[in-house]
Structure 1
Amino acid sequence: MKGNTIFFLFCSLFLVSFLEDTGAAQAGTNYGVYIVYMGAAASTNGSLRDDHARLMSSVLRRKENTLVHTYRHGFSGFAARISEKEARSIAQKPGVVSVFPDTQVELHTTRSWDFLKYQTSVKIDSKPNTGNDQSSSSVGSDSIIGILDTGIWPESESFNDKDMGPIPSRWKGTCVKADDFNPSNCNRKLIGARSYDDSADIKTTTTTTTKYQKKYDDSAATAPAKLHTPRDTVGHGTHVASTAAGSTVASASYYGLADGTAKGGSPSSRIAMYTVCSSAGCVGSAILAAFDDAIADGVDVLSLSLGAPSYIRIGLKSDPIAIGAFHAVDHGIIVVCSAGNDGPESESVVNIAPWILTVAASTIDRDFQSKVVLGGNKVIKGEGINFSPLKQSPEYPLIYAKNAKKSGANEAEARNCNPDSMDKDLIKGKIVVCNNVGDENYSAREKISVVKGLGGIGIVLIDDKSSRVASTYGSFPATLIKSNDSAEVLSYINSSSNPVATILPTVAVTEYKPAPAIAYFSARGPSYDTMNVLKPDIAAPGVDILAAWIANDTSQTPQGKEPPLYNVISGTSMACPHVSGVAATVKSQNPTWSPSAIKSAIMTTATQTNNMKAPITTDSGSIATPYDYGAGEVTTSGPLQPGLVYETRTTDYLNYLCYIGLDIDGIKAIAKTIPNDFACPRDSNSDYVSNINYPSIAISKFDGKASKNISRTVTNVGGDGKTVYAVSVDAPSGIVVKVIPDQLTFTKNNEKLSYQVIFSSSTATSLKEDVFGSITWTNGKFKVRSPFVVSSKSGDNDEYVL
């Protein structure tokens, strides 16, 4: 690939790059950093350190200190610089679950929260079930959101602690000191800030995709890695933190665009930042160290805008996010992760473990438009953020890049504005129309650089995919138009002897319809490891999100302007903290709820309709399915009182581990608490995954001949005591769905009742494609909806290596 990789700091977020040579991490040596995972932490800290030391000494004969990190709070293990041979030897030792090479990884608001509020149709009681004496004005103040990211800019007004009460006494974390960060930078909002030594020597693999418009300046890709300070040098962590829990700030904007009152989803929640990423990427061993510390510190929610790309089918026992999240959930912490940005391809969703709440990205009802005005004042709608200095009148020469082809150059390359394909004399002083449809070799930003380098004064990119995702181009006039609009532009150029145009500076348009729509880059299901868990789980705003930014970023500052205090970026990274903020509010109002109960509340109260009261679509216009958005678009008030919840028990997760191939010894090593009588079913296979008590249902290997029987259990949390729920089913053509019983009669709060769902075929033939439907329970006050998917494909994936 010829493009830079920094876009993944905002979109792919957490590009895992395994060592190409696992034995060589330093020039001239044969040592690399390996993670030794030893499962649950069952002994005291001192004993664990002794255990780790004894294990190391039993294998190593060297005297130098090889440890990089030690994990001892939420789980046991360590990261050390050892050889491949030593790693294999340690893997055979008793008590070791897995040993795997450390990974170099790269990273995956004003209007968005208001938009979500408007989309929520559920009305909640005036006296929420808080479980304490909180006033409504302090909702969320006892929730602590831990964020694993690039750090934080503590001076941002989004992190002021005005009117916040004392820090919760259960908080055990700290604010570390660094060259550019002091404990005094923390306050009652930002209560914790940790960073991790980036001493692990990891080989970086260059990404191989240019599908997405680059959202950040190329220079950031070569910035020095800094994991030893909580201060954000990238911007990503600051943006994510303020989206999840930023304080209310009036008159926030990006140079006047998207102006309004900025706030996080849970503005009264506290923030704890764990710096595990830099502009150079993230380190798996540091991610595990952050999970370990966060468990001991006392966070309620963990938000990770990180995830592997779809082409790396990382195994459960080698995935630092899945491992860390398992132990966090086991300690009562809900873990929210981005779904990844390798969409719209099928099976591109990541962070697919059932204990993770996985978030897809959607648009909101705001659009950033930069119009093209042709000669004769014909206006063409364009997209993108620029502060064009051009005049409003169309008086600048306009040329199609193909017509500026350099002698001897390929016409297709010239049409796409590829490097060394156009004649400088024909480009200079003109607005250039470039094709960006189906060109995977160069990014939009690279093409802009080419045109600028040849003296062009503006660029119009023909791009169907990216047109609803506004990239930022500073003062250079740049805009994206769709193919159906490009025909008129090209016709004008071809029919005019002196074609002229101008590009207008961007304006923000609100109440845009339809919205939400699922973003083209948002990763899609089904899950690559088993089709019997539906992923992603939920969708949230992730396109053109305004949030706080680092105050020293001059990379794209328009001429004559100061660096921005707020920035507009896109990605599933931006969707993730929206759900984290909702989860923190739910936790505050329902402090005794488990992570799975909070997850269920968020999923079963999602909406599937847009602001036109029509089904949510993808940004290409097709009707969205659960593979696009899981249960639907998150709502803000619905999860506070969901009526019923599906609680996924520890036993469900243990059974899941059985079903995907772990033996009982491996499970006992991993899990902190396990019933004495627990045993894996004799015929464990991935088909049984469908029966874990999940808020959605996914079935594979449906051949139309035999029926599939699925069980679920719900808990009454509606607060009404005695109540009756009746079921309704939305089933696709050819599928018969029967629910037994069809009514659930509860006699008290917190009562649990179970039901069966029998799936059969009305045609006794195999499905030609995956089909979708839903099961909804309602008592007249609450609606509890579970989506389902039925597939004839196999749920087993031999490529998913444990």
Structure 2
Amino acid sequence: MRKTLSRLSLFVVVFTFLTGLVGGQISQAQEPEFERGTVTSGETFVAEASGSALVHGVSETGLYIVRLSEPALASYRGGVSGLAPTSPEVTGKAKLDTSSPDVLAYISYLTQKQAEFVSTVEQSLGRQMEVVYNYVGVLNGLAIRASYEEANEIATLPGVAAVYGDTLRELNTDVGPIHIGAPAIWNGDTGSGFATRGEGIVIGIIDSGINFFHPSFYAMDGGGYIHTNPYGDGVFKGWCATHAGYCNNKLIAAYNFFTPGQPPVDTDGHGSHTASTAGGNAHTASFSIGTTDYNIPIQGVAPRANIVAYKVCDPGCPGSASIASVNSAILDDQVDVLNYSISGSDFPWTDPVEL
């Protein structure tokens, strides 16, 4: 299981994705060195020329993720003339302010550099490239449609840090809030005078989509609490910006990065499950098993948080779509916390989603 929640104001934080920590407590881990061309931990490393970047694995989707050498928005510490640092570690801000002039200037810089790189690739390969995703948030790179042989050639170009074959991941399950002690937070046992149920927090769910019409995601919960939309009353993003009747002031945005242009409806149930576990409304679930009726009060870890849903699985989960979700969460959606209940590799140093 991989669960990512980072900065849930006064909340229990389980597992980490954005902070770069990986599931099983790796202390003082250093990126190991390899000989180019060796096979290690199930990953295939290929480099055609000495000093070139590595191609990590063969794509399962036809896409290759190209990571460029210049730092992404979240990690840029300065060094380019005329461009101030944007990393919160340097600026001292709690999160990226994507509307600030410094951030916008560096986004423009990276966007221009990526356009120049695409031109270089097209000249090298002698054909027009299909760029499916551009990333600038936590990874500076692109997802492009290419053959394995072309990926090897791209890896030799200047400015390329690494090239990754896009992989399909599997959905994982989750555990209930009671197992992590959430009720103690809700009841104020760990401190007083704080909002302890997720008020003011936006949770992004990277998964299989969302059940838009489940009571876990209604604008008012079962106890009468009315959610506040941080974008403004009735303002929604993604699919909901142009399709009325899907989102509300609880579920404020939804995207389909698995099949862009299609509704991000959860046809699996896993995304709705993890979304309700992380931030589902307090309400009573009524159901029957055989001849026995049940009325069970349920709620998520942060029941008063807002939800943004990213569909990246159906049923497999391409890494390229997951990275696009993180990019959107940082740049466009004001997301504070990301939930990622999807499998991953055992080798984070060569996993673009982990990076």
Displacement of 1:150 in angstroms is: 0.2
Percent identity between the aligned chains?
Answer: 30
Alignment partners' CA distance in 1, 2:59 and 2:141: 22
Structure 2 equivalent of residue 157 of structure 1: 215
Alignment of 1:21-32 (within 5 A): 32=62
Tell me if the contact between 2:207 and 2:341 (Cα under 8 Å) persists in the aligned partners.
yes
RMSD over equivalenced CA pairs, Å: 3.7
- Residues 29-61 of structure 1: CA distance to partner in whole angstroms, max 9, x if unpaired? xxx321101241463344244234224324221
1:274 to 271, 287, 310: 310
* Deviation readout 1:640-683 (Å, 9 max, x if unpaired): xxxxxxxxxxxxxxxxxxxxxxxxxxxxxxxxxxxxxxxxxxxx
Matched, 1:51 2:87: no
Residue 228 of structure 2 corresponds to: 166
Which amino acid is 1:157 matched to?
P
Q: Distance in 1 between matches of 2:285 and 2:163?
A: 51
Partner of 1:285: 320
Separation in 2, partners of 1:238, 1:23: 31
SS at match of 1:185: coil
**Shift of residue 307, structure 1, vs aligned partner:** 2.0
> 1:196-245 deviations in whole A, cap 9, x for unaligned?
1449xxxxxxxxxxxxxxxxxxxxxxxxxxx9431000000011111111
Letter in 2 for 1:303: N
Q: Deviations over 1:246-279 (max 9, x none)?
A: 1121243464576411211111100000111112
Aligned CA distance change for structure 1 residues 286 and 125 (closer, same or farther; 3 Å): closer
Q: How far is 1:119 from its partner?
A: 7.4
Q: In the alignment, which of 322, 334, 340 is matched to residue 354 of structure 2?
A: 322
Alignment of 1:289-328 (within 5 A): 289-296=324-331, 297-308=333-344, 313-316=346-349, 318-323=350-355
1:83 positional shift: 2.3
Q: Distance in 1 between matches of 2:232 and 2:335?
A: 9
Q: Which residue of 2 aligns with 1:232?
A: 266
* 1:141–1:164 contact (8 Å) kept in structure 2: no
Q: Deviations over 1:303-340 (max 9, x none)?
A: 100122xxx53341x313311xxxxxxxxxxxxxxxxx
Whether the 8 Å CA contact 1:22–1:101 is kept in 2: the answer is: yes
List aligned pairs for 1:490-529, cutoff 5 A.
none
Rounded to whole Å, the distance in 2 between the matches of 1:320 and 1:88 is 17
Deviation string for 1:101-122 (max 9, x for gaps)? 11012212xx944573677899
Indicate conservation of the 8 Å contact 2:279/2:301, yes or no: yes
Q: Secondary structure at the match of 1:184?
A: coil
Question: What do the CA deviations read for 1:144-187 (whole angstroms, capped 9, x no partner)?
Answer: 00010000011011111114343114999713169xx9343111
Q: 1:72 to 1:278 in 2, by over 3 A?
A: same
Letter in 2 for 1:175: G
Contact 2:176–2:277 (8 Å) recurs in 1: no
- Residues 113, 70 of structure 1: CA spacing in aligned structure 2 closer, same or farther, 3 A cutoff? closer
Residues 254 and 191 (structure 1), Cα distance of their counterparts in 2 relative to 1, 3 Å cut: farther
Q: How does 1:156-195 map to 2 (within 5 A)?
A: 156-162=214-220, 163-169=225-231, 174-176=237-239, 182-195=243-256
Counterpart contact for 2:210–2:264, Cα < 8 Å: yes
Q: Which residue of 1 aligns with 2:64?
A: 34
Match of 1:396 in 2: none
Amino acid at match of 1:237: G
For residues 261-660 of structure 1, what are the structure 2 equivalents within 5 Å? 261-279=297-315, 281-296=316-331, 297-308=333-344, 313-316=346-349, 318-323=350-355
Q: Check whether the contact 2:258–2:318 (CA below 8 A) recurs between aligned residues.
A: no
Alpha-carbon distance in structure 2 between the residues aligned to 1:25 and 1:266? 36
> Offset at 1:18?
7.8
Counterpart of 1:127 (choices 193, 213, 216) is 193
Q: Any residues of structure 2 matched to 1:712-791 within 5 Å, and which? A: none
Between the aligned partners of 2:116 and 2:288, the Cα distance in structure 1 is 52
Checking the alignment, whether the CA contact within 8 Å between 2:209 and 2:271 is kept in structure 1 is: yes
Q: Give the distance between the partners of 1:75 and 1:87, measured in 2 at CA.
A: 18
Where 2:354 maps in the other structure, the secondary structure is helix
C-alpha distance in 2 between matches for 1:40 and 1:147: 22
Q: Which amino acid letter does the alignment assign opposite residue 47 of structure 1?
A: Q
Mapped partners of 1:173, 1:48: distance in 2:
31
* Deviation (angstroms), 1:89: 2.3
Give TM-score scaled by structure 2 length.
0.62
Distance 2:43 2:286 in 1: 40
**When the two structures are aligned, how many residues end up with a matched partner?**
259
State the Cα deviation string for residues 722-777 of structure 1 (Å, max 9, x = none). xxxxxxxxxxxxxxxxxxxxxxxxxxxxxxxxxxxxxxxxxxxxxxxxxxxxxxxx
Structure 1 residues 122 and 293, CA gap change in structure 2 (3 angstroms): closer
Q: Which amino acid aligns with 1:194?
A: Y
What is the letter of the counterpart of residue 330 of structure 2? Answer: I
The residue number in structure 1 matching 2:82 is none
Structure number with greater CO (CA < 8 Å, separation at least 6) is 2
Instruction: Summarize deviations over 1:450-486 as a string: whole Å, max 9, x none.
Output: xxxxxxxxxxxxxxxxxxxxxxxxxxxxxxxxxxxxx
Q: Determine the C-alpha separation between the residues in 1 that align with 2:229 and 2:184.
A: 33
CA distance in 1, matches of 2:116, 2:244: 33
Secondary structure at the aligned position of 1:90 is classed as helix
How far apart, CA to CA, are the structure 2 residues paired with 1:118 and 1:294? 28
What is the one-letter code of the residue matched to 1:66?
A: E
Q: Secondary structure at the match of 1:321?
A: coil
1:103 and 2:161 equivalent?
Answer: no
Q: List gaps (5 residues or longer) in structure 2.
A: 3-41, 45-55, 77-105
- Deviation digits for residues 409-459 of structure 1 (CA, Å, limit 9, x no counterpart): xxxxxxxxxxxxxxxxxxxxxxxxxxxxxxxxxxxxxxxxxxxxxxxxxxx
Q: Is the contact made by 1:246 and 1:265 (CA closer than 8 Å) also made in structure 2?
A: yes
Q: Is the 8 A contact 1:230 1:274 kept in 2?
A: yes
Structure 1 equivalent of residue 134 of structure 2: 70
SS across alignment from 1:186 = coil
For the Cα contact (< 8 Å) 2:348–2:354, is it kept in 1? no
Contact 2:182-2:301 within 8 A present in 1 as well? no
TM-aligned CA deviation for residue 78 of structure 1: 0.7
1:76-95 matches, cutoff 5 A: 76-95=140-159
State the distance in 2 between where 1:152 and 1:282 align.
Answer: 15
Secondary structure at the aligned position of 1:294 is classed as helix
**1:191 partner SS:** strand
Separation in structure 2 between the aligned mates of residue 61 and residue 247 of structure 1, nearest angstrom: 54
